[in-house]
A and B are shown apart, each in its own frame.
Chain A
Amino acid sequence: MVEESRAVNAASEGDFLTLSGISKRYGGVTALENVDFACGRGKIHAVLGENGAGKSTLIKIVAGVVQPDAGTMRLDGKEVRFPSPSSGNAAGVASIFQELSLLPDLSVADNISIATPPRRFGIIDAKAQRRRAEALLAEIGCEDVNPLMRVRDLPLSRRQMVEIAKALGQRPQLLVLDEATSALTSADVEKVYAMLARLKAQNVAILYISHRMHEVEALADRASVFRNGRHIETFDWGTRSTAEIVQLMIGRDIATQYPTKPKRPRAKAALKLDNLCWEKRLEAISLDVGAGEIVGLGGLDGQGQKTLLLALFGVLRGVTGEITINGKPVRPGSPAVAKSPSVGIALVPEDRKTEGLMLPMSIADNLAIASLNTLAKGLFVDRAKERAAVEKGIDRLRIKIGDSKDAVSTLSGGNQQKVVIAKWLMTKPGIILLNDPTRGIDVGTKQEIYRLMRELADQGVAILFYSTDYDELIGCCDRVAIMYDGRIVRELEGANLNEHNIIASALNIDSGAAGASSAGEVAHV
């Protein structure tokens, strides 16, 4: 309670942006609950919290992408209401979203001046627009991007810089950055720092959301912590230790997050990869996963971990090297082959909304889709068998549903992910590939998934588990392979499996170069 009142106090100091009593629900899920929040001009205000803490909803409300169910928003003391992003822009709010808002088929120059281009006689002045793009790109040190290029043809890191230039071009009074640096190179990040410093000097209010603590460390003047849709506390940077902040972010119950790892000798390899290569994205991958073992894939995002999972699941063409399953060489040419009993691979894909589920279809249909061939008698689906299998799947993962005929889109994110996992368990796979399965789901479900993984491993399933969360890798995995630039650079096991080693290997720097740091501390990179 004391913390709450501090937050309210913080909101009363003549700030630029003030939110009071903001609430937002999506269906049955509360994203924000009675949030009071404020940030001031000329300051970089970090917003911290776990996935699902409500940060994204907060900034979507500020930008006008979603509308709150209750509460008021003030800019410079005046109450405002943004029914659409354009009204937010008009009021001086510019946002850089995690999901890029760029138009892939339009040129960089078009994108940067998309809403309010320079015009002559009512027609877009292409030359002026191009000069403007060049100037803005130069401002963030990104002269190497030709404004004529189509955004689709740029690598992700450049696209993100274009997104930043676009926001900058709106000359905002309030700039919101949501994980704006996630795909940037370190040199680009430096340029963004410099830009933010300039904006700060120009008295712009800046909201900065990042999972990278070292960035927050380097930039933030103030910080607010969110947890489970509530504003927990706002404080000046430096008045709290890193450990205290982490404590605020995760709340109290961090004790028994991960199931204990069994101590047993490594089993024979259920999955063995030898010299796997694909299109310069995977280079000479050799890896064993034993039956009953959970092997993690670590490293920075986008170093080939997802590609490796796809290659194993038969999605990629032209994979070279050897895949051996239980001693037999296999070559899955498609997911249909990969899931067949003789191979027995399951993949929980990255994006459950577009790759894991048919959202408008029923829960039962989604659960049964992968195992229909085993639930069919001849051409027809054995409905009794199907119903039994579906119920078993729902029970096993304790999926909370009303009716299995409801559309799967009515479920919360955590329960949706459980449906994806249950779907694959119904095929009785010997090898399970998990692509960041806990992304964007609540802590409770996460723990259930961790327990389930261990349970499956105890039953002899081999699990290959990619996660962007180092803590998760350390807690869940028997072994972690760190990838860098399409290669496995290091395998960590036992006492070596700690945050420091993961980060050092992820950056492909020598162990120890980053300085000794204990596992609990958030490392500075």
Chain B
Amino acid sequence: MTAASLNLSLSRDARPILISASFIVVILVAGTFYTLSRLGTAPLLSPNYLLQQLQIGSFLGIVAAGMMIVILISQIDLSVPWTLTAAAMMATAVGGPWALPVGLGVGLLVGLVNGVGVAYLRIPSMIFTLGVNAVMRGLMVAHTGGFAPQTAATDLMRWLAAEHSFGIPNALFVWLAVSALVALILRRMALGRYIYAIGNKEAAAYLAGVNTRGVIVISFALCGLAAGLAGVLLAGYSTKAYQGMGDAYLLPSIAAVVIGGTNILGGRGRYLGTLVGVILIVLLNSVLSIMEMPEAGRQVIYGAVIILMLLVYGRGERVTS
């Protein structure tokens, strides 16, 4: 009885992570077979190549870290694309030493607005963050005139996103720091417990004396902050900000979180899973690009992988009463 329940609790949290981790191995092995047979090389086993891929993946990883917090409280943040873009554009526009704080500030501010709308006005996050995304887009189009801004990323931004220290991309260190912070929040801080509690049953958390509104606002603020940071880094990596730079991050970040075993309805999931989910998506992408898979095939494989993974461990309960 105890063994069974132990097994159950283990499988509930760890199974998705184990399965997606083994899937990463499958991707690496299959990709290597392909490159060996076609090109006679094995770039997927070269640390430099992998580090480079992870460097690109770190932007997604940072967005996903924030997204996970919001999904854990059973909400969603659809404003990520233009929060990210706005942070990047404002950071490059301000320039100088203030670029980084301004970029992060934009992210934080948008997150706070989202949080207030969801927690205090109780508008479904699905629709409120959608509106905020549209407003941010409008602001940025008005600001830039609809063109790619001519301003460039500061040296600090470039250093953070594109340079290496000790042979390892700095962006990876940033991602690592964000990961450590999120893991710390979720596992060690009271805030983390409240986040899980709200995701499981907001009414019960409220009646247990948890300041549910405050926690919701903080969660969205953290998500906005993460999107802002990713925007600043991405601008540093590409040396400038550009229109629509955040579009490629919304759905993959949600997918990474869910593939990592976080319940899309909230309340359940471990940060390690999100980490694994991001790596899975990043490696899947790089293998597909090595194989010169056209965008069409990528999309299909991408969708199929999500469904497959969820069929294995993400199935809901049957409604019986």
Chain A: interface size category: 35 or more
Q: In the complex, which of the residues A336, A355, A403 contacts B209, with contact meaning CB atoms closer than 8 Å?
A: A336
B9 within 8 A of A: yes
B residues apposed to A, CB below 8 Å: 1-2, 5-6, 9, 188-191, 193-194, 196-197, 200-201, 203-211, 267-268, 320-321
Decide: B5 and A423 in contact? CB cutoff 8 A.
Answer: no
Of B6, B206, B210, B267, the most chain A CB neighbours within 10 A belong to B210
A359 to B203, CA, bound (A): 12
Q: List, in ascending order, chain A residues with CB within 8 A of B191's CB.
A: 379
Of B194, B201, B204, B321, the most chain A CB neighbours within 10 A belong to B204
Decide: B2 and A403 in contact? CB cutoff 8 A.
Answer: yes
Q: In the complex, which of the residues B9, B196, B201, B268 contacts A357, with contact meaning CB atoms closer than 8 Å?
A: B201
Decide: A410 and B200 in contact? CB cutoff 8 A.
Answer: no
Q: Helix, strand, loop or mixed for chain A's interface?
A: mixed
A65-B320, A360-B200 given; 19 more Cβ-contact pairs under 8 Å? A65-B321, A66-B321, A335-B208, A335-B209, A339-B208, A340-B209, A354-B201, A356-B207, A358-B200, A358-B204, A359-B200, A360-B267, A361-B200, A365-B196, A370-B209, A380-B188, A403-B2, A403-B5, A405-B9
10 pairs from A and B in contact (CB 8 Å cutoff) = A339-B208, A356-B207, A358-B197, A358-B205, A361-B197, A361-B267, A372-B194, A403-B5, A403-B6, A410-B5
Q: In the complex, which of the residues A335, A347, A358, A405 contacts B201, with contact meaning CB atoms closer than 8 Å?
A: A358
Q: In the complex, which of the residues B5, B190, B203 contacts A372, with contact meaning CB atoms closer than 8 Å?
A: B190
Q: List, in ascending order, chain A residues with CB within 8 A of B321's CB.
A: 65-66
Of B189, B193, B200, B267, the most chain A CB neighbours within 10 A belong to B193
What residue of chain B has the Cβ atom nearest to residue A381's Cβ? B190
Interface residues of A in 177-232 (CB under 8 A from B): none
A325 within 8 A of B: no
A349 within 8 A of B: yes
Interface residues of A in 325-365 (CB under 8 A from B): 334-336, 338-340, 347, 349, 354-362, 365
Decide: B189 and A357 in contact? CB cutoff 8 A.
Answer: no
A residues apposed to B, CB below 8 Å: 28, 65-66, 313, 315, 334-336, 338-340, 347, 349, 354-362, 365, 368-370, 372-373, 375-376, 379-381, 383, 402-403, 405-407, 410, 423, 427
By Cβ-Cβ distance, the 9 closest A-B pairs, closest first, are: A358-B200, A339-B209, A372-B190, A402-B2, A370-B208, A335-B209, A336-B209, A369-B208, A358-B201
Decide: A376 and B190 in contact? CB cutoff 8 A.
Answer: yes
Q: List, in ascending order, chain A residues with CB within 8 A of B1's CB.
A: 28, 402
A402 to B4, CA, bound (A): 11
What residue of chain A has the Cβ atom nearest to residue B190's Cβ? A372
Decide: A406 and B209 in contact? CB cutoff 8 A.
Answer: no
**Contact A356:B190 (CB < 8 A) given known A338-B209, A369-B210:** no
